[in-house]
Structure 1
Amino acid sequence: MGRGLSGWRFVGASVRGTSHDRSGTPCQDAHQARTVGEGPDGPVLVLACADGAGTAERGQDGALIACARMLELAAELVEAGHGVRQLDDGMLPFWIDRAAESIAVQAAAARRRPRDYACTLLVAVIDGYGAAYAQVGDGAIVIGDGDGYTPVFWPQSGEYANTTFFVTDPPERRSICSDVRASPPMEAALFTDGVQSLALRFADRAAHAPFFGIFFPALRAQPAGEAHSLRAELDAFLSSDAVNQRTDDDKTLVIATRFPHADAGEPATS
């Protein structure tokens, strides 16, 4: 086992925003959180989330396809006997290209344009050696080491106000941030743009540490693996009046920790 990766606990949730409730449209966010097998440096954990563009008729499908493709490609990496050690800064952008291709195939089968499936995408692949991160669009990946939380990248903004980049953008216009680090984080959180106003401080481009203190104490107390028992609490928080007063968008949050067992804390709603 690689440096305690077998002790990862993780959970994620996607909830529909109140603006989608009013318009009768579905939640266009998607997420995945799963271990995909044992690599040379221990279990490989994959965290991903995506947000379908509000102007894309099949944005929800695009988000689902993009997240599922990240799991498939990570599983193929493990099946080939590799892990994060074999990745470089160009590999996850290549994976995102493959996700775009999968979306294009689905679009062609439905006689639609790929941009009808436009979505953002954030992904983290972690094992005992280190972690690989990639992002297209807004939202953020935040990691912690016990002394605070730090965004890996900052949410991407497009040329105009309230615009960003999407997996389905033409390759020459697709903006991909990627980074491979030779050390796994102790904790990680991925979230779509519906959560970023709660989790980030835009004035100084930093993580808002109290936000993460709501969730991680309870997660640390769970047994290794997916924390199914916390899913309802995470759903309830993201759907709460306190959160909906701050944002009417869809909201996705995926969190993971490998800190030693701690006493559970109760998620708050303010």
Structure 2
Amino acid sequence: MAADRAGWRIHGMSVEGYRHRRDGLPCQDACAHTDAGPVAVLAVADGAGSRPRSDEGSRLAVELAAEHFVRRAAAQAASPPGEAVHALLVDTYREVTKVFLETTGASAADFATTLTVVVLAPDWLGHLSVGDGFVVLRAGSEDGERQFHLLPQPVAAGEYSNETVFLTSPDAARWVHTDCVADPGIDGVLLSTDGLAQAALSRSGGGATTPNASFVDAVFRSLDTPGPVSEAAHDNLAALLRSDRLTALNADDKTLLRAVRRTRR
């Protein structure tokens, strides 16, 4: 899955984790991206492992998110950063959830999935998250080192770290988190599900969570080369996500969707 439009080079994939490969089960993660005019939308989703059709749910969620967010954002791309963007994100989330629930009907709980969306507009970046996906930005440098920034994540829905919220949760709207960032220095965006949290994020002694600079930097740099994403680059990313090193950290399904800004001429 790759694209080179709307000012961004985009590439990503979802792969089944070790447990699912071992048991012959489908990948329950999904990702999608699309663009319209100057706007690009990226979405990742993680189906609930305990639900029988969550692989279908995650695919439906990212497809609906790509369709609805790009349509609404393209129409409002000129909106100034701030409350108008937050309202756009929440209103579009409601659209997506309504169609998702109408499509899945009485069996909606069987399709339970998280959803994380990023909208890339010319003057702002919008972020919406339901569940435990995360987003890392590359922006600026300090002493010659690229700087990486973890966007705020939703507050935990329960006292246990493995509790999360899904689109089908009765009170999901209560836990929706949105951000609007206006920073022309942003030239890289990474979205992922929690299967990569141990590799892509680090926890400091004080308990704060920050990006793992060495991992994130390598992932972005491999997409910085101008031109279409090669088959070799696609194969290399698949090999990384299925590697023993990452599997040892987390055996769940893994999704990595990344975008780097094309060099301005």
Taking only aligned residues, the RMSD between alpha carbons, in angstroms, comes to: 2.1
SS in 1 for 2:178: strand
Taking the TM superposition and a 5 Å limit, the aligned residue runs for 1:42-81 are 43-77=38-72, 81=75
Q: How many angstroms apart in 2 are the aligned matches of 1:78 and 1:248? A: 35
Partner of 1:206: 210
Normalising by the residue count of structure 1, what TM-score does the alignment of the two structures yield? 0.83
The residue type paired with residue 10 of structure 1 is: I
Establish whether residue 101 from structure 1 lines up as the match of residue 98 from structure 2: yes
Normalising by the residue count of structure 2, what TM-score does the alignment of the two structures yield? 0.85
SS in 2 for 1:90: helix
Give deviations 1:124-165, integer Å, cap 9, x for gaps. 001211111111111201111132111112365331421111
Partner of 1:243: 246
Partner of 2:163: 163
Aligned residues: 246
SS in 2 for 1:219: coil
Per the TM alignment, residue 212 of structure 1 is displaced from its structure 2 partner at its CA by: 1.0
Q: Which runs of 4+ in 1 moved over 3 A?
A: 171-174
The residue type paired with residue 140 of structure 2 is: G
Give deviations 1:2-37, integer Å, cap 9, x for gaps. xxx844111011000011122322100000123x21
Which runs of no fewer than 5 residues in structure 2 stay unpaired?
A: 142-146
| CA 1:105–1:242: 2 relative to 1, 3 Å | same
Q: How many angstroms apart in 1 are the aligned matches of 2:130 and 2:235? A: 28
Partner of 2:123: 129
CA contact (8 A) 2:130 2:172 kept: no
CA contact (8 A) 2:43 2:116 kept: yes
Q: How many angstroms apart in 1 are the aligned matches of 2:78 and 2:240? A: 33
| CA 1:171–1:93: 2 relative to 1, 3 Å | farther
Partner of 1:32: 32
Q: How many angstroms apart in 2 are the aligned matches of 1:217 and 1:194? A: 21
CA contact (8 A) 1:28 1:51 kept: yes
The residue type paired with residue 251 of structure 2 is: D
Partner of 2:144: none
| CA 1:75–1:57: 2 relative to 1, 3 Å | same
The residue type paired with residue 151 of structure 1 is: L
Q: 2:223 aligns with which of 216, 219, 222?
A: 219
Taking the TM superposition and a 5 Å limit, the aligned residue runs for 1:84-95 are 85=79, 87-95=84-92
Per the TM alignment, residue 170 of structure 1 is displaced from its structure 2 partner at its CA by: 1.6
Give deviations 1:31-74, integer Å, cap 9, x for gaps. 0123x211xxxx21111100001111111111111111111113
Q: How many angstroms apart in 2 are the aligned matches of 1:153 and 1:219? A: 24
Partner of 1:153: 152
CA contact (8 A) 1:139 1:195 kept: no
Partner of 2:191: 190
The residue type paired with residue 46 of structure 2 is: D
Q: How many angstroms apart in 2 are the aligned matches of 1:216 and 1:210? A: 10
